Structures are given as C-alpha cells and as structure tokens.
Structure 1
C-alpha cells in the first residue's frame, strides 16, 4: 500500500436531517488518527477540511424532492477536485466524513484515475435510492446510485463524466436495511450484496476471501467506503441511522486486516461519525482503530 497519504475532511451534514455529523472529521482527528498512522511509518499530509456552504433559512432546502441539492452538489464537486489532485500527486486519499453523501465526490475524483475501479460499500444501507424511490429525499441514501449514473443530473455529472463505477465492480457488505426501490435496482443490476444473513452463515473470513477473490483479476483499484453504521450500534453508537443486528467490532477488524493483506485498497473513506450522538467519542475511536487495521497495524 502507498506509504504517502493525504487526509481530507468533509464536514457535510446536509445529505440528511440530523445535525452533528459535520463534526465527524474533527472527532476522528481528535481520536488520534494522525498520531496512529505516524506510528505505522506513513508520511501524512493533513489537508484540512473542504468548505461546505449552508443554505440560509430563507432558501428552499428541498429541490426536485432532494434535500439541500445545491449545497450537496457544490461540496461534492469541491471534494472531487481535491481528491483528483491528491491522486495526481501520488498520494493515497483518506477521506473523513461527514454524511455518506460525500462518496459522490470521493468516487468522482478517484474513478477518473482507473479504468475499472472496484468499490467495497461497508454499510447497513444500500444507498441506492433516487428522488423517485427515496422515502425522505436525503441524499446520503443515494451516493451509490449516483455513482452508478442513476440520479439527478447535478450529482451524476460531477467532473463532467458518468457513470463513475460499474455495478459488476461493487460489493455491499453488512446490508440489513434496504428500501423496496433499492431491492429492485439490486435485482436489475445484479449488484453483489452480502447481507447480515450471509455474513452470519458464512462468517466474515469466508465473505472477505470471496470479495478479495472477486476483485483480484477484475479491477485496477479498490475504494473502501465504510459507513460506521455498518457496525452494530452497541459498538458504534454515534451514527445518525443506527440499525440493530450489525457487524461486530472484531468482525470489522478482521475485514480490515484481510483487506490490508490483499494489497487491493487504493483509496478509502470513513463516514457518518456523529459526536453529538456518541458516547465519549467511542465511535470515532473505533473508526481510528479500523483505519489502523486497514493500514497494517497488527498485534504482533
């Protein structure tokens, strides 16, 4: 794995309607992510945070049935350009969220550097909604669909190309809350999904081995998009949309360790840490622990 990496924070909370997740990047930094990575002998560049504009009270916050569309699109455009620059400079991009809508910008900036980018979507949710299927209009439930070229033109055309990824190059891990429209899209596209049912039956070791084998000769890079609500809320309480029955802390560490050993991961993001809903920054500390495992920390 690239030993030079750049951290970029995205204090975005406009993709949903609960405040606090904009403080996620600060919470993860406070939990010691930079110090931890320095101990692992990485060269670190902290680029600070993307500036996110906020709508005024007078502005209409729902456009085309999408909450804060203008501001979410602008923030993701800025993120996409920054991530593009990071990769062009030969660095590994590590993006800290913010809500999961920031994946729209991450994948836009990353995918242009690959012919066949793979994506591991580690999440309780499929994030495959659009304005036509979303019950809420929250864009943080849409980034995977947007990256597949499905959604509002202001989102799918960031950096002036689409789609960013192909359905056969996506694997969802840990899903347990999927809307009807998302189920239909999964059937239509043939997206590979490991629900909690499959993970419980097969075990995380088998699931990750299958995922690594699936990507080995198929892609030229793999992006990890890890939503902390993929973990069970007992382990990660500080998230905006917790879903019981999730992945354990130990299962998640094993997944990260196996990904590190595979040497497949070329970019990563950790999202949806909400310090307001957390317990003594527990979820941010868990994010740092998982990042450390992904980048090679071992017990011996």
Structure 2
C-alpha cells in the first residue's frame, strides 16, 4: 500500500527526534539467557494457505537447534502445539481458542527463566505469544517486524483472516471493535499498551490499520522510512522510543514476509520491496545487543507455496539465519 508522501512525512516526522540517538557500543551486551525454550506453533488457520504449520519441523531439520547448541545454548525443546485444518476446511475461530495454549506455553518458558523461541505457524500465533510474554512480564515491549501491521480488528478486517489481527486482541483500547471475538477470548486480558509497540518494515497496510497506528501514535518505520534513514537508525530509534531507560525486556515478532520475496519466496503474503537478508540480520543483531531480548517468534514460512525446492530451502535458511542473529550469532558462513 502506498501511504503517500504526506503519510510518510507524518510518520518520519513524529519520530525524527529519536534518530541518531543510537546506543553507545560501550554499553552493548548480548542476552544473558543461555537456556532456550523452543516450541512449534503448528497452526495454519489464521489465513487461507495450508502448509505453514509444517514450518517448525522444517526449521528444526535445517539444523537450528544443533547450531544453537554449538554456540553454547542449552536447548529445551517442548515439541509442537499442533492444530491444522481438517479435510482442507478453514476454521478461523479456532485461532482464538488455540492461542490460549500458546499463551500458557510462552508464559511457562519465560517464567522458567529461559529465552522463549516460538516457531510458527502463521502470524495469528502472535496473539498468544504476546499475551503469554506479557503475563510473565507485564512491562515487556513488542517489536513487530512485518510487511503488514496485523492490527486489524474483527470490525475493520475485510478478509476476516486472524493472522491480520493478533495485535488488536492484545490492545485494550481496541476491544470495542473486537466484540465478535469476546466469547472465544474469555481467557485473555488485553495488556499491550500501544506505547510499548513498534513496527518495522511495513509496506502493505490497510487504511483502518493506519488509522489505529496514528490514533495511538505507535512508532512505525515503514520501508520508505528505512530506505531514507537506514535499518540501524530505524531499529535504534524504535528501541529508544519504546524504552528510553533501557530496562524493559523485549519480545521480537518476526514475520518472514518482511523480507523481499527474492530472499524468502516460500511465504503466503509476498510484497516486493522488502528488507534484504543483510538488513534483517542487522536488525536482529542490534536487538540482541541490548541484552534484553527474551522472546522471539519466527512465523509464516510456508513450504507449500515455494515454486521449487530452492524456494523452500532459501526461505528456511533465511529463517534460521534470522534466528541465529537474534540469539547473538556472529555473522559468519555456517
């Protein structure tokens, strides 16, 4: 979606005060959590395409856990929480109840003082991962890295796809537009303040989503802004805006479709003009270097949408590299 120069100026202008107030390298540190709890959120009913629920096992098979072990991490694999469509039938309401399990799993892992790594699955699982992290640590901030804002409500969504709504369910101020979901979300206490949320990489955003973003002054760094100021300035600006005192824990929710389709072709909602893999690795490295990243989602890898085995391998390999960078892995050839 083209927001126009006026929209770009309003976004860039709101947050320009934070640009160039980067972290001093003398204060950087890697995450103190050397124990990682990982689980697969094998869910594909937040959007139309089957296959995304197969991604967690593909990412494991690509050697992710072994690579983390070799880098000194203790790995606790909690297995998969699976709910895939039956007979090809899509039941989007299941996303709301399914995420109760996701929320409890994330909360458990965080309270065990482990880094929580969630392998999706479509991005509807972000409903549960954010809710669970906030249950464990209510002061956590969320960095949403995605081509899409995923802040539609039941009232504003044209498609009804729940993978475009997970943030709205977690924001108290938006519940009047989510009344259709209230019966299925009796387990959820919306706890995400808009002041603790930032978007990076946006380039396909619905008009109503921009309305919510501007209404709540949510820091947003769309690709137009990143092209002008660079990924490092965008990330540091987001971090300084969300947590100027540098004390809050961070939840990173990373949708593989934030990458340009040339870097990650096997995904469901491809949009040209995205981040390069190098920019994504820089983003993850900078967030890791705060020493406050305690949870991460990697979502929307869909092997069924690759046109070839090369497409699938390219996307899975990108996912593994992104996770390793977020865990503090030096950028070397593996």
TM-score by length of 2: 0.83
1:20 and 2:51 correspond: yes
1:76 and 2:88 correspond: no
CA contact (8 A) 2:64 2:320 kept: yes
1:234 and 2:257 correspond: no
CA contact (8 A) 1:146 1:155 kept: no
Distance in 1 of aligned mates of 2:195 and 2:47: 28
Provide Cα deviations, 1:22-51, integer angstroms capped at 9, x if missing partner. 111111111111011111100001111013
Aligned length: 290
**Tell me, which stretches of 5 or more residues in structure 1 are unaligned?**
62-66
2:68 alignment counterpart: 37
1:295 and 2:323 correspond: no
Q: Which residue of 135, 146, 149 maps to 1:126?
A: 149
SS in 1 for 2:201: strand
1:136 alignment counterpart: 159
Distance in 1 of aligned mates of 2:151 and 2:184: 13
Provide Cα deviations, 1:195-214, integer angstroms capped at 9, x if missing partner. 00110000011112212222
Distance in 2 of aligned mates of 1:276 and 1:20: 5
Distance in 1 of aligned mates of 2:323 and 2:84: 28
Q: Which residue of 164, 173, 176 maps to 2:191?
A: 164
Distance in 1 of aligned mates of 2:301 and 2:312: 12
1:49 alignment counterpart: 80
Deviation at 1:260, TM superposition (A): 1.5
CA contact (8 A) 2:41 2:118 kept: yes
Provide Cα deviations, 1:51-98, integer angstroms capped at 9, x if missing partner. 3264678x8x5xxxxx521x1122111111111111222211100000
SS in 1 for 2:50: coil
Which stretch shifts more, 272-281 or 241-250? Answer: 272-281
CA contact (8 A) 1:232 1:245 kept: yes
Which stretch shifts more, 222-231 or 20-29? Answer: 20-29
1:217 alignment counterpart: 245
**Tell me, which stretches of 5 or more residues in structure 2 are unaligned?**
1-30
CA contact (8 A) 2:325 2:331 kept: no
Q: Which residue of 94, 107, 110 maps to 2:117?
A: 94
Provide Cα deviations, 1:99-124, integer angstroms capped at 9, x if missing partner. 00001111111101223220000000
Distance in 1 of aligned mates of 2:214 and 2:246: 21
1:248 and 2:273 correspond: no
Distance in 1 of aligned mates of 2:191 and 2:312: 37
Q: Which residue of 316, 326, 330 maps to 1:284?
A: 316
Question: What value does the CA root-mean-square deviation take over the aligned residues?
Answer: 1.8
Distance in 2 of aligned mates of 1:133 and 1:34: 39
CA contact (8 A) 2:110 2:294 kept: no
Deviation at 1:217, TM superposition (A): 1.8
